Amino acid sequence: MLHPQVNAAAQLRRRPTAEGLAADPYQRLLGARAAMEESNEAETGPALPLPVVADLDADGVPCRLYATRAGAPVLVYLHGGGWCYGSIETVDRFCRRVADRSGCAVVSVDYRLAPEHVFPAALDDTGTVLTYLRREGGGLGVDVSRLAIGGDSAGGQLATVTARRQRDAATPLDFQVLIYPALDPLTSAESYDEVGGYGLDRASMKMAWETFVPDPLLRLTPDVSPLAVDDLSGMPPTLLITAEYDALRDEGADYANALIAAGVPVVHTRYMGVNHGFARKLATIDAARAAADQVASALRSALTF
């Protein structure tokens, strides 16, 4: 049963007007971006003070560093939003809570969005940030010898593709956190039919994939579709979170099973009664705080405190 908090949280975001619905697709996208940012504080709550919150330029990619102590290991975090929405601000409260409770530094990446910047721009930005951190981490006061990556939704896709690319480059990451990741450009899972009426449906995800990767010939390549990777052995140990009322639920579970079959240590947790996007809504959904704390606990364990 869908938790009443989910419905209450949904009322906080401005819905498109008839005029907005009649606008061209790009203007509708701009309206949706603005609505997400406008509702952000009500959904996510006040900012938790931390000793270090600093905006960075990582070789041209804007980032925000959160830290509670010097010499902390690092989680590179990639926000969700269908590769078209979202920002550092929309996951700010989530990143603060994870940094506070894990003792890890968190570097949140403001990667370029589609359709202004299509694939592989966001993926390239993620790689640029990792290169920057490995070079400059000492000066930033963090320990990049212990390095994890994570993200939610579209950010989960960018995170795990990057983890696989780092594995292939012989610079493997130590851990990955995937929160209801978007992994299947074909949108073929049964969960689209079963729970596609709870905030995220097949049509919106198809549009997101097509906006991010306009060339259909690229959509089933490993740098776009993690489920298309033949060999997942050697991927980092993984925490994978899915949501009961999320159209992406089944593809996340399929990926968890594929990682396990490849010998990768995986914890897959399904949060019941919630839908896609719940994890950043710390002010409105109890399960969001539990999920952030689970991420923090997993990072503490994985990065050897």
**Beta-carbon neighbour count of residue 31 at 10 Å?**
18
Report the pLDDT averaged over residues 176-186: 98
Q: How many Cα atoms within 13 Å fall on the side-chain side of residue 81?
A: 29
pLDDT of residue 37: 95
Among candidate residues 180, 172, 175, 174, the one with its CA nearest the CA of residue 156 = 180
By annotation, the residues acting in catalysis are 153, 246, 276
Eight-state DSSP code of residue 255: H
pLDDT of residue 21: 65
Q: How far apart are CA 197 and CA 47, in angstroms?
A: 32
Tokens of 119: 């694939």
277-299: pLDDT as tens digits: 999 999 999 999 999 999 999 99
AA identity, residue 186: L
Radius of gyration of the chain (CA): 18
What domain range includes position 159?
A: 4-302
231 band by pLDDT with thresholds 50, 70 and 90 = very high
Per DSSP bridges, beta strands 142-152 and 175-179 are parallel
Asked whether residue 78 carries a pLDDT value surpassing 60, the answer given is yes
Q: How far apart are CA 280 and CA 52, in angstroms?
A: 20
14-70: pLDDT as tens digits: 776 656 666 788 999 999 999 999 999 999 999 999 999 999 999 999 999 999 999
**Beta-carbon neighbour count of residue 154 at 10 Å?**
27
Report the pLDDT averaged over residues 164-185: 98
Average pLDDT, the chain: 96
Alpha helices (H) along the chain: 4-10, 18-22, 25-38, 40-44, 92-102, 121-140, 154-168, 191-195, 202-212, 249-261, 286-302
Sign, Cα dihedral of 62, 67, 70, 75: negative
Eight-state DSSP code of residue 236: P
pLDDT exceeding 70 applies to what percent of the chain? 97
User: Contact, 186 vs 281, CB < 8 A?
Assistant: no
185-215: pLDDT as tens digits: 999 999 999 999 999 999 999 999 999 999 9
DSSP lists the bridge partners of residue 147 as 74
Report the pLDDT averaged over residues 118-135: 98
pLDDT exceeding 90 applies to what percent of the chain? 92
238 band by pLDDT with thresholds 50, 70 and 90 = very high
Q: What is the domain count for the chain?
A: 1
Q: How many Cα atoms within 13 Å fall on the side-chain side of residue 263?
A: 3
pLDDT of residue 58: 98
pLDDT of residue 18: 57
**Beta-carbon neighbour count of residue 219 at 10 Å?**
18
Q: What is the CATH number of the domain that holds 72?
A: 3.40.50.1820
79-114: pLDDT as tens digits: 999 999 999 999 999 999 999 999 999 999 999 999
**Beta-carbon neighbour count of residue 233 at 10 Å?**
10
Report the pLDDT averaged over residues 112-126: 98
